[in-house]
Structures are given as structure tokens and as C-alpha cells.
Amino acid sequence: MNRAMKSAVIVFPGSNCDRDAARALERISGAPAAMVWHKETDLPERTDLVVLPGGFSYGDYLRSGAMSALAPVMRAVVAHAERGGLVLGICNGFQVLTETRLLPGALLRNAGLKFACKDVPLAIANGNTAFTRAYREARETEIPIAHGDGRFVADEATLDRLEGEGRVVFRYLANPNGSARDIAAIVNERGNVMGMMPHPERASDPALGRTGGTAVFQSLLEAA
């Protein structure tokens, strides 16, 4: 029998979705997630998946995610990713991934300069990733967003490369923030690191009335 997936959720000062992410992971995998404080220098032994949760780490001072990218634990997260370990950055976590250069591009203030908080329809642009395979034949889903700095930007060459390499994972069907080419989520070249602005942990339990994000965690369970 395969061992249970071991997951770790990084907790920064200002994180507000860390417990939600941990609850979603435990519900779907059957195993509790380790909560790892930002000052730690190592991940738990044999960690399969690291989640960088949403929130406002360090109060979004300087730039969203900029200070978190320098936290002691991020050296271990980067090393985990470089070994091929799975990493999921959600909302603020996506911002941290771009600041550490584990993912290209940047997340800027939403077009219109307003905080966006609502359910959004998404196209599954690549259903053959470690983060989306459990969607099977589905082409669309719906997952809520909650961000003020969610507009994904990159130069045209980078955008072309992301498109050409199949690294755009989700797209907005009704763009809520002005993201380039309607991009809501991307993966790295190796396919083991994904950043997404929508919050799958908020759409992973029937009790919440939303289940469109469940397959993200199911996919990771299968991949691990």
C-alpha cells in the first residue's frame, strides 16, 4: 500500500487561508497537513507537497509576497521544488512564487484598482498536469477569488513561451483583474510548481456549497 501524501502548509504573519488549505488537504488526503512557521529552516521529512497559502503575508509591505520570499523557510521550499517536489501557491502564495522566481511574471494591482472577491468561471487550459488531472474530461470549473493584486503580467516573449509550452493551466472566462491573456494559473517548466490566484480550498467541500476546486487537491494526491 502506498503511504499517505505528506503535505506542509507554510504559515506567514498575515496568512489567513492557511487553516482552510490544511483542512482541504486533510479532508481529501485523509492525513493532517503540517503547519510550518515561516522562521523554520527545514520542511518535515519526506514532504510531498508544500502549499503557500493565501492572505496578506507581512501586510503586503513593499510588494505582495516580496518579504515572504526572503523568509528562512523559503530556502527549503525552493530546494524542495528543485528536487521535483510539488508546490502549490494560492493567491498570495502565487505572488511569493513569482518573487522567488520559481515562476515567471509578476502579480500587479487589479485593473480598476479594486479588490475582487467573487466566484469566477475558469477554463481548464491544461488538464494534463499534476494539479489538474483529476478534472478528467471537464473543460471548465468555478472557483472563488479574493485579491487586490492579482493581475498577472509578463513580457510578450514570456507569455508566448507559457502558451507554447502548455504552462497556462487555468484561464478566466470573465477576466476579473486584467490579467494578460486571461491567465489565472501557470506552472513551471518542470510542471511541479503551480501558482494560481483563485482559491481552490474555498471550493473543496460540499458544506461550503462549492466543489470546483476539489479536483486540484485530488490531482495532487494522485501525483504524490
What is the structure's pLDDT at 69? 96
pLDDT band, residue 61 (cuts 50/70/90): confident
Where are the strands (E) in 32-147, listed by range?
Answer: 34-37, 49-52, 86-90, 106-108, 116-124, 140-147
What number is the average pLDDT over the span 33-62? Answer: 95
The catalytic residue positions are: 91, 199
Please give the C-alpha separations between residue 100 and each of 76, 105, 126, 202, in angstroms, as whole numbers: 12, 11, 24, 25
Closest listed residue to residue 81, CA positions, set 147, 10, 145, 132: 10
pLDDT band, residue 97 (cuts 50/70/90): very high
Distance between CA atoms of 7 and 48, rounded to whole angstroms? 6
Q: Are strands 86-90 and 106-108 parallel, antiparallel or unpaired?
A: unpaired
Residue 106, pLDDT above cutoff 60: yes
Provide the 10 A C-beta neighbour count for residue 23. Answer: 16
What number is the average pLDDT over the span 98-121? Answer: 96
pLDDT band, residue 37 (cuts 50/70/90): very high
pLDDT band, residue 1 (cuts 50/70/90): very low
What number is the average pLDDT over the span 82-97? Answer: 98
pLDDT (tens digit per residue) in 173-215 = 999 999 999 999 999 999 999 999 999 999 999 998 999 999 9
Task: Give the cell for residue 142.
Answer: 468555478
Q: Are strands 140-147 and 116-124 parallel, antiparallel or unpaired?
A: antiparallel
